[in-house]
Amino acid sequence: MAEVILRPTGNFDLTVEAEVVTPDNFAGKNAQEIGKLLVWQGPQQLPLTDFFEIKGNGGISAQDTTIIIDGNVSRVKRIGEGMTAGKVHVKGSTGMHVGNSMAGGEILVEGNTDSWPGMEMKGGLLHIKGNALDHVGSAYRGSWRGMTGGRIVIDGDAGNQVGGGISGGEIVIGGNIANFCGTRMNGGLIVVRGNAIRTVGAEMTGGTIVVGGTIEKFTPGFMQTAVESNLKFNDIECPGEYKKFAGDYAIPQKGKGVMYVSAENNEDL
């Protein structure tokens, strides 16, 4: 497996759009050729070498290529966008849109990410060890078609709009989330180990949401259908007792979504 190491050295006062940073683009290129790939910063297109010191060559294919970003790139957007195979390992934090519409391979972020990680993702694994801001795995603004496959794991907290419009794949949030989780989702799985504020599952028409913590303000269009214990979705386990709900009854496609809420942490429901 070939490794390409990018060490951030440039001026990131203006954010950089780095959708070229994928194993697919690096494969078959040596360090020099990789350095010539262009990224946008503001109104200018500049070579990657203006921002990174680059060591190592890409592999024969994306599959054989690992990209290691050795530092903090929280001002760099769209890392790993559309990648189909290989690995990206970010040792710090990233900017917006990491793993946008990725279809395969693996991205590991040691730090935090800005908003939109895994937007409209189709496959692969996106693992963020820290926190993420808004729109994890969701649809682009205006669209109702979010993530369709793959898995997003966030060990820390996430913000608003987790899994907006998703129809497949899995999102697992280790910590807490804010508002609007799984809005308009019609398939797939969202597991939140911690707490949520409100509007969980609003307008959902399919799929499953699990909330292990407390939901501060429960969405009104849901009806309890059962109580179940120790949930298991393939390799994702949710121990404890859960109240099972169907919804959202507030819209015409009634009650086809499923929401599990921790019984222990939501006694008043």
Partner 1 sequence: MAGTIAIKNGYVFDPLNEINGERMDIFIRNGKVVTELSAAELKDAKEIDASGKTVMPGGVDSHSHVAGAKVNVGRMMRPEDHYKSYQKKTPITHSGSGYSVPSVYLGGYEYSKMGYTTVFEAAVPPMEARHTHEEMRSTPMIDMGGYLVLGNNWFLMRYLKEGDIEKAAAYVAWMMRTHKTYGIKCVNPAGVENWGWGENVNALDQANIHFEVTPEDIIKGLAELNEMLGFSMPVHLHANNLGHPGCWEITRDSLKIPKNVKARPKDPNVEWAETKINPQRHESVYLTHCQFNAFGGTSWRDFESGVKGITDYVNSHEHVVMDSGCVPFGEATVMTGDGPAIHDLYVLTGNKWSNTDVECECGSGVLPFTYLKNNPVHSVQWAMGLEVLLYVKDAWKSIMTTDSPNGGPFIKYPQVIAWLMSNKARQDTLSECHKWASDRAGLAGETRELTLNEIAIVTRANAARTIGLSHSKGTLGIGADGDVAIYDINPAKLEVSDYESIIRAFENAAYTVKGGEVVCQKGEIVAIPEKKTYYTDITVNAEEEKKMIDDVKNWFKYYTIGFSNYPTPEKYLANPTPIKIDAEV
Contact 71, 92 (CB under 8 A): yes
**DSSP-assigned letter for residue 130:** S
Per-position b or e across 100-112, b if 16+ CB within 10 A of its CB:
bbbbbbbbbbbbb
| CA-wise closest residue to 74 among 59, 97, 54, 94 | 94
CB atoms within 10 A of CB 230: 10
| CA-wise closest residue to 113 among 151, 149, 153 | 153
Which stretches within 112-266 are classed as H helix? none
Please name the helix (run of DSSP H) or strand (run of DSSP E) that holds residue 225, with its range, or none: strand 223-233
User: What's the min distance (Å) between Cβ of 187 and partner 1?
Assistant: 16
User: What's the min distance (Å) between Cβ of 249 and partner 1?
Assistant: 14
The SS3 of residue 67 is: strand
| Closer residue to partner 1, CB minimum distance, 36 or 141 | 141
Dihedrals φ, ψ of 64, to 5°? -90, 10
What type of residue is 103?
A: A
| Closer residue to partner 1, CB minimum distance, 43 or 268 | 43
User: What's the min distance (Å) between Cβ of 233 and partner 1?
Assistant: 27
Quickly tell me which residue has 């680059």 as its tokens: 54
As a whole number of angstroms, the longest Cα–Cα distance in the chain is: 62
Binding residues for partner 1, per CB under 8 A?
Answer: 139-143, 251-253
Sign of CA dihedral 29, 64, 131, 139: positive
| Closer residue to partner 1, CB minimum distance, 19 or 157 | 19
User: What's the min distance (Å) between Cβ of 54 and partner 1?
Assistant: 26
Instruction: Tell me how far apart the alpha carbons of residues 3 and 130 are, in angstroms, rounded to a whole number.
Output: 24
| Closer residue to partner 1, CB minimum distance, 32 or 45 | 45
User: What's the min distance (Å) between Cβ of 42 and partner 1?
Assistant: 15
User: What's the min distance (Å) between Cβ of 116 and partner 1?
Assistant: 12
User: What's the min distance (Å) between Cβ of 139 and partner 1?
Assistant: 7
| Closer residue to partner 1, CB minimum distance, 143 or 230 | 143
| Closer residue to partner 1, CB minimum distance, 116 or 222 | 116
| Closer residue to partner 1, CB minimum distance, 141 or 217 | 141
